[in-house]
Amino acid sequence: MRGCACPGCGSGTSLETFDGHYGTRVELDVCHACNGLWFDPHEGQRLTPDSTLALLQSMRERADQARTPLLDFHRCPRCGGALKETMDRVRSVPVTYWACPRGCGRYTTFFQFLREKQYVRDATAAELAALRASVKQVDCSNCGAPIDLEGRTTCAHCGAAVGLFDTASATLAKELSLPEPDPRAPAATAEQVARLLGRRPARTGVDLVDAGLDALFSLLGK
């Protein structure tokens, strides 16, 4: 079902329905042109763990075609007013989104949604060093622009840091009903995550968050 005009890129969104808590249903405006999400108030918090997993899979399956650049100006699809870029912190993790000052909702990229859910974290200095040994360039998981790891650790286009989908995250394990990770075991290094893509060898231009999602769904048998 067709949704609103995407506040991020101007394309048409799709209305996708997911299970919410207490037997409710949640209709999200999902843009597969830019991998963006529009949340009406409290919709993100109403998603059940299974629905969060279904949303991750839906976004992941169309990630390769979701490269439409974002507009310079973002308009609220409900009231038509200008959205305000907002920088927030969720459990000490910095996230960025565009919110309607009138409270209609907010637009967020898929990458920032994953950060908000604590599924993505910034790569450590040791992980970046290991990554440079095998991968010279990665694609920004936020906007798709290339990042030359020899000279940068953030995207020159949108400023996002190189991030990893943390398959060892305790938050991920709890919310998606995965086996609880051993707190003594180190999280997978960026190099190990990149190697998980056997059908897409990690040499240049790998998206590390996409690689981590592939690893997650491989673990789940999906």
> 136 and 212 share a domain?
yes
Backbone angles phi, psi at 119, to 5 degrees: -90, -20
Tell me whether residue 182 is exposed, middle or buried, using C-beta atoms within 10 angstroms of its C-beta: 0 to 12, 13 to 18, 19 or more: exposed
Residue 206 has pLDDT above 70, yes or no: yes
Residue 191 has pLDDT above 80, yes or no: no
> 93 and 190 share a domain?
no
CA neighbor of 23 nearest in space, from 42, 46, 45 = 46
pLDDT score for 79: 97
> 48 and 93 share a domain?
yes
Over the stretch 57-67, which tens digit does the pLDDT of each residue have? 988 888 777 77
> 9 and 102 share a domain?
yes
Reported confidence tier of residue 77, pLDDT bands at 50, 70, 90: very high
Backbone angles phi, psi at 41, to 5 degrees: -50, 130
Q: Which domain holds residue 10?
A: 2-116
The answer to whether residues 33 and 19 touch, using CB atoms and an 8 Å cutoff, is no
Q: Which of 56, 81, 116 is the last residue of a domain?
A: 116
pLDDT score for 92: 82
Pinpoint the alpha helices (H) of 12-144.
43-46, 49-61, 110-116, 125-132
> 112 and 145 share a domain?
no
Helix (H, G, I), strand (E, B) or coil at 14: strand
pLDDT score for 200: 44
- Percent above pLDDT 70 for the chain: 83
> 13 and 87 share a domain?
yes
> 48 and 110 share a domain?
yes
Task: Tell me which of 5 and 65 has the higher pLDDT.
Answer: 5
Report the mean per-residue pLDDT for the chain. 84
- Percent above pLDDT 90 for the chain: 45
Residue 186 has pLDDT above 60, yes or no: no
**Which tokens sit at 95?**
């996230």
Q: Which of 61, 81, 116 is the last residue of a domain?
A: 116
pLDDT score for 43: 94
Over the stretch 13-50, which tens digit does the pLDDT of each residue have? 999 999 999 999 999 999 999 999 999 999 999 999 88
Average pLDDT over residues 121-133: 84
- Strand 84-90: give its sheet, edge to edge: 2-5, 12-19, 25-31, 36-39, 106-109, 93-99, 84-90
Residue 185 has pLDDT above 80, yes or no: no
> 99 and 127 share a domain?
no
> 15 and 106 share a domain?
yes
Task: Tell me which of 38 and 210 has the higher pLDDT.
Answer: 38
pTM equals 0.84
> 53 and 37 share a domain?
yes
Q: Which of 84, 116, 148 is the last residue of a domain?
A: 116
> 88 and 19 share a domain?
yes
Reported confidence tier of residue 144, pLDDT bands at 50, 70, 90: confident
pLDDT score for 196: 46
pLDDT score for 170: 65
Rounded to whole angstroms, the Cα distance separating 39 from 78 reads: 11
In total, how many domains does the chain have? 2
> 124 and 111 share a domain?
no
pLDDT score for 202: 39
